[in-house]
Chain A
Amino acid sequence: MNEKIHIFDKPANIKRLLTIFYSLCGVLLLLEFVVHRHSAIEADQIPGFYAFYGLTACVILVILAKQMRKLVMRSEDYYQSNDNEDAAVTVREDTHV
């Protein structure tokens, strides 16, 4: 079976895409010093505020969400086992994945 090679099957293409992406991030940050933007609140007068905020917000989001898994994650049939079986069964099935 000779399947067609698709664009992201080549690691070089992924690398190229990422290089373009990183450069765009750089350009956007530099534009900050060329374009005069008005500010909405005091804090956002700091150069690069939005870039920094977006980056840290998402890192915090992911790290907290990952920790949240410890608290809320159950097996996929967590509720099914409860819905269909007897009281005795529900006591012993709290297995974390």
Chain B
Amino acid sequence: MFEQITPFLIFFSAALLVGLLPANLRRWAVIIAPLVGLLNLWSLPAETISTWPFLHEQLIPMRVDKLSTLFGILFHIAALIGGIYSFHLRDRVQQVAGLLYAGSALGAVFAGDLLTLYIFWELLAISSAFLILARHTDKSKSAALRYLLIQVGSGLILLAGLVFHYHRTGSLAFNTLSLEEISGALIFLAFGIKACFPGLHNWLTDAYPEATPTGAVFLSAFTTKVAVYAFARAFPGAEPLIYIGATMAMFPIFYAVIENDLRRVLCYSMINQIGFMLVGIGLGTNLGINGAVAHAFNDVIFKGLLFMSMGAVLLRTGRMNGSDLGGLYKSMPLTTGFCMVGAASISAFPLFSGFVSKSMVMVAALNLNHEMVWLMLLFASAGVFHHAGIKIPFFAFYAHDSGIRCKEAPTNMLIAMGLASFLCIFNGSYPWFLYDLLPMEMNYNPYDITHVLTQVQLLFFSALAFVLLKKYNIYPPELVSTNIDAEWLYRRMLPGFMRIIGNSIGRAITGISSSIGGTTLWIAQTTKPQRTFLFKHDQTTNSSAILVLLFLGGYLVMFMY
């Protein structure tokens, strides 16, 4: 029926169409595009490469193999679920952005060369920023700008890496890269920003909670998982990933416990889950890689489900803080049920999807005698149940009754959540379908008595800790607050630092000028307004300018090197 259409083209054409269609047809186009895309994906031969001449190089806009196909299927499913979830929307900007965003993610995972990857890497950043901007609040606007800046920055580092790589090897092919080379290290860093390496993770917890209810569902699916894919493709077995991943699995859970905005809690738990995936990739064994990508697959669906349930709460109540919510199971029983399925899946309860994929990474760690890493991941497993599995449903739907009475989520949202819930339970209860899609050969069975018993023990006693801490009032209450994280460096320290420098320069100029007698008045008058213009502007612009300067400086240093 189809003649090998590169997957992203279907989404980009649909985006163009949605740009022209009236509202009641647009929303159908958003659902039909991923369905057509899935059909197309089905018809693609298992191993294909299509090339496209570019200057004196061959670009590879489509490379189909098991790894790219797995992510291809996943992103189609995520786009479909997201499309159904946002079916009630009449906002053209969000619909176009959603399709372009999903298309860019597909473009990136099917890219066979670094230049194509780079183009889609930047398109991902730009298209997704509109899903944050579309919230139309001051907070979302400045968050979107910061987000865009960091994402585009990641792309520029990728570009620098690919230039070095091309210079050294004469090839643009996107295959395994070496961390020993500066090109590999730069690309590793670019991927690391998108994958939320510790300290580079803040764009996620900053921007996603400011997105629209439907926008956050799209956002949770694509950007970070493209980065996971890119790591699996380029850096399997890179040892630093094991330790970076283990750190990522650990530190966000502390923030998640004290965070009040429930969608931000989900963002922290997202970093924690990506940590598991990076450990798997860093281990580099068949089981490790399979575990990482299988977990990415499951994570997109259960994290999407959790974001959908919170999006429904936000839509119906206009609130997202744990301190404002509670008792919503009375008004939104179905959403509550779906949220609990997502919670059980992320916590890796037997029969739910997290159970069959998270353990693969943990067993892979033990197979290579990484016992400390295994203990850290076990801690993170208990912790994720604590904050994502219990805290999210408890503070939104149970806890004390907030007195909020609202309508159940719209039907289209319920259908989308139902579909995601079905996939969570299906993958958890019958993992063989997913296992068949995995890129590596392996022999693994998640359902043996030891695994089931130990996992249930771990989870029940984590829950017991919650019950006891709550009972004896040790559990920290939800408080209206901001918890500062690494973003403090560029939203507070750097601007403050620049302000001091700016003021001293201003003062110096004024000082010098005053000593030059007659010209004093003239210079002082002209420099003062300038100083106000440069350094008393709003913080985003200021930090943006500084970051751009830093990047440019960095490039200069690199090229001289």
Interface residues of A (CB under 8 A from B): 4, 6, 8-9, 18, 21-22, 24-25, 28-29, 31-32, 35, 37-38, 40-41, 44, 48, 50-59, 61-66, 68-69, 72-80, 82-84, 86-87, 90, 97
Contacts and interface: CB of A to CB of B under 8 A. Distances in A.
Given A51-B461, A78-B482, A97-B480, A57 B254 contact: no
B340 to A, nearest CB: 14
Interface stretch (B32-40, B234-242, B484-492): B484-492
Contacts, number: 163
A2 to B, nearest CB: 13
Interface stretch (B19-27, B379-387, B439-447): B379-387
B462 A54 contact: yes
- Overall SS of chain B's interface: helix
- Overall SS of chain A's interface: helix
Given A61-B383, A62-B476, A69 B483 contact: yes
Interface in B314-341: 329-330
A65 B476 contact: yes
B539 A83 contact: yes
A31 B453 contact: yes
Interface stretch (B286-294, B427-435, B463-471): B463-471
B449 A37 contact: yes
Contact of A54 (B139, B382, B503): B382
18 contacts: A4-B330, A21-B467, A31-B453, A40-B374, A51-B458, A54-B459, A56-B465, A57-B465, A61-B383, A65-B254, A65-B257, A66-B257, A69-B476, A72-B485, A73-B483, A75-B482, A79-B539, A83-B539
Contacts of B479: 69, 73, 97
B555 interface: no
B457 A28 contact: yes
A67 B534 CA distance: 39
Instruction: Kindly name the residue among A18, A68, A72 whose own CB sees the greatest number of chain B CB atoms within 10 A.
Output: A72
Contacts of A53: 378-379, 382, 458, 461
A87 B491 CA distance: 13
B377 to A, nearest CB: 11
Nearest to A84: B538
A41 B374 contact: yes
Given A72-B484, A76-B482, A55 B254 contact: no
Nearest to A79: B491
B169 interface: no
B253 interface: yes
Contacts of B549: none
B223 interface: no
Given A54-B460, A74-B481, 13 more contacts: A22-B464, A53-B379, A53-B458, A54-B461, A58-B461, A58-B466, A66-B476, A74-B483, A79-B482, A79-B539, A83-B538, A84-B538, A86-B536
A78 B28 CA distance: 42
B540 interface: yes
A22 B484 CA distance: 37
B107 interface: no
Contacts of B253: 61
Interface of B: 139, 142, 253-255, 257-258, 329-330, 363, 366, 371, 374, 378-379, 382-383, 386, 398, 401, 449-450, 453-467, 469, 474-476, 479-485, 491-492, 495-496, 499, 503, 536, 538-540
A62 B465 contact: yes
Instruction: Kindly name the residue among B450, B457, B462, B475 whose own CB sees the greatest number of chain A CB atoms within 10 A.
Output: B457
Contacts of B454: 37, 44, 50
A21 B463 contact: yes
B500 to A, nearest CB: 9
Q: Which 3 A-B pairs have the closest CB atoms?
A: A58-B465, A54-B461, A65-B257
Contact of B257 (A35, A50, A62, A76): A62
Given A37-B454, A72-B483, A57 B496 contact: no
B467 A58 contact: no
Contacts of B467: 18, 21
Instruction: Kindly name the residue among B371, B383, B482 whose own CB sees the greatest number of chain A CB atoms within 10 A.
Output: B482
A78 B484 contact: yes
A54 B456 CA distance: 10
B539 A82 contact: yes
A97 B254 CA distance: 19
Contacts of B536: 86-87
A54 B398 contact: no
A1 B214 CA distance: 34
A37 B405 CA distance: 48
A8 B195 CA distance: 40
Given A18-B467, A51-B461, A61-B257, A35 B330 contact: no
Given A76-B480, A86-B536, A87-B499, A57 B457 contact: no
